[in-house]
Chain A
Amino acid sequence: MTQGATKTSSSAPPGAAGSPISGVGQPRDRSYDVIVVGGGHNGLVCAAYLAKAGKKVLVLERRHVLGGAAVSEQVFPGFTFSVCSYVVSLFRPHIIRELGLVDHGFHVIPLDCSFLPLPDGRSLARFGDYARTRREIAQFSPRDAEVYPEFGLAMSKLARFSKHVIDHPPPEPTSLAPRELLQLLRLGRGYQALDRDVRYLNLKLLTMSAADFLDEWFESEVLKGPMSVSGIIGTMLGVRSPGTAYVLLHHYMGEIDGAFRAWGFSKGGTGAVSYAIAAAARGFGVEIVTEATVDHVRITSGRATGVVLESGNEITAKAVVSGCDPHRTYFGLIGEQHLEPELVGQLRRYKLRGSSGKVNLAVDRLPDFTCRPGPGPHLEGDIAIVPNVDYVERAYDEAKYGAFSSRPYLNVVIPSLVDPTVAPPGKHVISCFVQYAPYDLEGGPERWPRQREAFGDTVVDTLAEYCPGLKESILHRQVLTPWDLEHEFGLTEGNIFHGELSLEQLLFQRPMAGWARYRTPIRNMWMCSSGTHPGGGIMGAPGELAAKAMLKAGAA
C-alpha cells in the first residue's frame, strides 16, 4: 500500500484539549504588536520570546498543524511520523530553560548508536561506550580505532568555539562601528584561546571537503563513509566538494551540549518540540491560528504595516516577522516590486536547490539486518546506508545531472523502538532520510510527482538489500520528494535548511550580505527562519536571536 504526501491528519487537532492552537482561519483581533508568518519551530520560538517580553503576538500558520518541517502527523492511523525532520539536533539548551519547555512536554530521548550495515555482511556500530566503539572500529582499522577519540577531542575544542557563534547574532566584518568591532574582538579572543594546532585545523575545516579532511585522520573507507555524509546533508554538494568539511562539526556540537543530550528523538515525534514551544508561547499570551494563509505583507511607503490573508482579511501590526525561507519571504510575502533590482539579483543567486527526500514507513515488525540479526541497541540510534566514500560520491554524480541516486545515501531511524507512543505495540515507524534527490530533475522539477513512487521504490529496494524481509513488513508508505517538500511544507525547491549551509551563505551572508541581522530592507519587516543565522536544524536559535534583535531595536 502506498500513498503520496498529500493526505494528512493532525495529531493534535485545533481545539482539542491541551492544543496550543487558539483558532482556525481567523484571528480574534484586527491589530497586533507583531504578526509571525509561519508556525514552524523558529516562528513559534520567536513569538514566545516576543510575548514573554510583553508584546501582543499573533502566529499565522497556513497548514492545519503546527511545526513547519518539525511536525508530527498521523498520516496513517496509529502511526505518528516525524514527517520531515526526524531528530532534534542542537536545540539550544538556554531556550529550553528560558521558555520552560520541559513543563510543556519537551522530552528528548538521546541517540546512543550509529549503525552502519555493510553489503558484505560486516557492520560497524559506534556507541557512547568508548571501549566498545574502539573494538568496533578496530575490525576495519586498529589505527583508526585509536585516532577516533583524538579526532573527537579536536573537534570538540572547535565546537566549543562555534557554540559562541551560533548563540549570538552574526558579526558584521565590514563595519567599523565600535559595537561591531567589539563583537569581532570577542570572537577573535575566543579563537586565540584555542590551541595553535586547533586553529590550523579550523582553517582546514572551513576550506576542505569532508572526504579530504577525514583522509587526513583516518584510513578506513568504511569509517569515513558514514562520517563524511554529515558534511553534505541538505546540500547539493558531494563529500568531495570543498567546503563540506565544516559541517562535520555539527555532530560534535551536540557533545558540547552534552548535559542536555539535545541530540535525539523527540518523544511524540519532532512535532512535539513544536507543540511544546507553542504551548509555552500560548502561556505567554501568543495567539496561534492555523489554516490562515498569508497572501502578502501590506507595505506602505517602504514600511510593513500588517498582512493580508488569502481570504482577503487584513490584519495590522507594528511589525511583521517571517518564518518562511528567504525566497518566499522576499518574493512571496514582500513582492519584487518593493525591492531594489540588485537585491533581487542577490536573492536569485541564493542557493536553495534541495537535494534530499524522505520516505516514512509503517511496518508490522522490526527490520532484521542480515549482518546483525535480531533486535538490539544497534537499531535504536541512526542507521546509515553508506558503505564507503565512493558510494556516496557516486550517488552525487547521478544527482548532478538531474537524476535521483539509484543507490542513495540513507539515514534511517526507528523512533518507535525507544518511544512507544508513535506506533501500536509490536509495530514500528521507520524514517528514511534520502540523499540525493535533486529538486532539478532532468526535464524539470514538475516531473517529480510522476517519479515519486519510483523514488520510493528505490529507497525501499536499497534498504531491503540489508534487511531482506523489509518489503513484506510494510503496511504504509509515505514518500516525500523535494517537490512535495516545496508544495506541502513551503520549503522552496525542497531545501530542508531554507538555503544551503554552504560557507558563502552563512553568518553575515545569511541570507544576504547587509541583511543578515534578521532585518529586511522593508522597515518593520523581519525574518526569524532557518534562512537566517545560524541556519537550519531544530535549533530554535534563529527564532530566539530574531526576537531578541527586534526587542533590542524597539520594534513593535
Chain B
Amino acid sequence: MPIPTPFHPRTAALCTSMFWKEWAGYHAVRSYDVSHEREYFALRNGAGVLDVSPLHKYELRGPGAADLLSRITVRDIRKLRVGRVTYLCWCNDDGKILDDGTVSRLDDQHFRLTAAEPTFAWLHRFTGPHDVTIEDSSERLAALAIQGPTSRDALARICDAPLHRLPFFGVTRARLQEVDVWISRTGYTGDLGYEIWVDREHALTVWDAIMAVGLDHRVLPLGLDALDVARIEAGFIMNGVDYWGAHHCLVPSRQSTPYELGLGWTVNLDREPFVGQAALRAERARGPAWATVGLRYDWDEYEALFARFGLPPHVPLAAWRDGVPVYGSDGRQVGRATSGAWSPLLKANLALASVRPEHAALGTRLRIEVTVEYERHQISAIVSKTPFFNPERKRSA
C-alpha cells in the first residue's frame, strides 16, 4: 500500500481526477485533470510543478565519499566540482546496469546520490576501505521539480539564489521563504528547470510559495502522465520501462549495459578499478550487442494505414510503455520499441527503441508494428536523433 509524500496534502486537494499511481511506494499523481494535456502545455509554455519526493536519495559524507562513488558508479566522481551535478549509472561486475541517477557535490565531502531503486545496501557493500557515512535521506528530504520556460522567473521571485548564474547541472544552497533548501538545475523534462530539495517539514512552505506566484507565470501542478510524454521528447530512458536493473532480471537477455542504452558517454573507463570495469572494457572493444535509438513514425504511412479503415490517424494522448516489435527492411525482427508518445509539440509519433547496432544509423528506415482495428500492421519508422526536443533555454544563461 503506497503512502503519502510530504506534498500530499496539497497534491491530494488538487487531484480532482483521482488519477494516482504508485511510485516507489508512494502515491503519485498521474494527472490532476482527466487529461494531462493542459499540464503538458503548461510545462512547455509556462512551468509544471512535480512532486519527485519518491526518488531514493542518499547522502554520502566523509573524506572517502568521492572514492566510494567513483568505485561503484561509471563516473570518476573525484573530478566533479562542488556545486555541480552529474548524471550517471552503475553496474554489477558483469558490466550490466543496475540503475541510473544523479550525483550532486554539495560540499567537498558531501555528495547526494539519487536513484530509482533502493540502493542503500548496494552502497554499503563497497564501503570497506572508504571513510564515509551513508544516510538514506529518502524519507527526510522532500523534492519538488519546477520545470518549463517560466520556471526560473517564478522561482527567482521566491528565493535568494542567483538562478541566472546557476549553470545547467549546477546545484546551490538557497533560502526560500525563510527555509533552507538546495536547488539544482536538473530535471527529467529536457527543458529549463530546477529541482528543490528540502527537509520534509518545510515541504508545504515551498509548495505554497511557488503556487502563490504561479498564476503569474502559468505554473500548474504536473503529474506523471505529462512527464512521461516530456521525457520521451527529451529522449530519456527509464528504469523499469526501457531497461531493467540486473538485480531484477530472471534471464540474462533482459539485462543491459550502459553502451547498449546509449549511456556510454557517462562511462569513464580508463582509471582506477570500478565495479564492472573489466566487463565494460571488453564490451567497448567488441562493440555492444544493442543500440538505443530514437524513432519517428512515417506520418504519411501512418495516416494512410488508418485511412484504409476509414479512420483519421489515431494518436494516443498518453505515452505508451508496452513494447512493440521493430523489424528490418527484410521483415526480420531487429529489436523492440520500449516506450513512445505522440509529441503535441513536434507533431510527431516518437518512440525509444533498442535495435541491433547495424540498424541504428541515423536515417535508417525500420518497420514498426501498429495495431489498427485489432489488426497488426507495420509502417516505416526512421531512426532519428535524440533528444527529439532540445530547446536552447535548457542550457542558456
Contact = CB atoms under 8 A, between A and B. Distances in A.
Given A107-B345, A267-B45, A420-B217, A259 B312 contact: yes
Contacts of B149: 420
B297 to A, nearest CB: 11
Nearest to A260: B347
A347 to B, nearest CB: 38
Contacts of B218: 417-420
Interface in A391-438: 417-421, 425-426
B45 A419 contact: yes
Contacts of A260: 347
Given A256-B312, A259-B315, A267-B45, A129 B35 contact: yes
A466 to B, nearest CB: 20
B299 interface: yes
Given A107-B345, A110-B37, A97 B312 contact: no
Contacts of B348: 102
A418 B42 contact: yes
B278 interface: no
A108 B41 CA distance: 9
A65 to B, nearest CB: 23
A261 B346 contact: no
B216 interface: yes
Contacts of A160: 312
A361 B344 CA distance: 29
B37 A112 contact: yes
Interface string A93-114: 1001100001000010110100
A102 B344 CA distance: 10
Nearest to A421: B45
A259 B342 contact: yes
Contacts of B46: 418, 420
B216 A426 contact: yes
A142 interface: no
B33 to A, nearest CB: 7
Contacts of B34: 129, 131-132
Contacts of B342: 259
A258 to B, nearest CB: 6
A414 to B, nearest CB: 12
A131 B347 CA distance: 27
Given A112-B38, A420-B150, A102 B312 contact: no
B135 interface: no
A256 to B, nearest CB: 5
Interface of B, helix, strand, loop or mixed by DSSP: loop
Contacts of B216: 425-426
B347 A375 contact: no
B41 A96 contact: no
Contacts of B347: 93, 96-97, 102, 260
B153 interface: yes
Interface in A256-277: 256-261, 267
Which one of A107, A132, A257, A259 has the highest number of Cβ atoms from chain B below 10 Å of its Cβ? A259
Interface string B347-359: 1100000000000
B64 interface: no
A514 interface: no
Given A97-B299, A258-B315, A267-B45, A375 B215 contact: yes
A128 B35 contact: yes
B313 interface: yes
B42 A258 contact: no
A110 B41 contact: yes
Interface in B312-369: 312-315, 342, 344-348
A377 B46 CA distance: 15
A131 B217 CA distance: 30
B344 A261 contact: yes
B318 to A, nearest CB: 14
Contacts of B217: 420, 425
Contacts of A418: 41-42, 45-46, 218
A306 to B, nearest CB: 38
A532 to B, nearest CB: 26
Contact of B312 (A132, A258, A425, A426): A258
A425 B45 contact: no
B3 to A, nearest CB: 30
Interface in B192-231: 215-218
Contacts of A93: 347
Interface string B291-322: 00000000100000000001011110000000
Contacts of B42: 418
Nearest to B153: A425
A425 B45 CA distance: 13
A112 B36 CA distance: 12
Nearest to B299: A97
A102 B217 CA distance: 24
Contacts of A112: 37-38
Interface string A141-170: 000000000000000000010000000000
Contacts of B313: 259
B390 to A, nearest CB: 12
A426 B218 CA distance: 9
B151 to A, nearest CB: 11
Interface in B31-66: 33-35, 37-38, 41-42, 45-46
Contacts of A259: 312-315, 342
Interface string A230-272: 0000000000000000000000000011111100000100000
A190 B159 CA distance: 61
Contact of B38 (A366, A377, A425): A377
A554 B114 CA distance: 63
Contacts of B310: 193
Nearest to A257: B312
B329 to A, nearest CB: 23
A97 B296 CA distance: 13
Contacts of A97: 299, 347
A112 B33 CA distance: 12
A109 B220 CA distance: 15
A344 B368 CA distance: 57
A193 B345 CA distance: 34
A160 B312 CA distance: 8
Contacts of A128: 35, 37
B349 to A, nearest CB: 9
Nearest to B316: A259
A425 B299 CA distance: 38
A496 B13 CA distance: 45
B38 A102 contact: no
A432 B348 CA distance: 33
Contacts of B314: 259
Interface of B: 33-35, 37-38, 41-42, 45-46, 149-150, 153, 215-218, 299, 310, 312-315, 342, 344-348
8 contacts: A102-B348, A110-B37, A110-B41, A128-B35, A128-B37, A193-B310, A258-B315, A420-B218
Given A257-B312, A419-B218, A420-B45, 7 more contacts: A96-B347, A97-B299, A129-B34, A129-B35, A258-B312, A261-B344, A418-B42
Nearest 7 A/B pairs, CB to CB = A259-B315, A426-B216, A425-B216, A420-B218, A109-B41, A129-B34, A259-B313
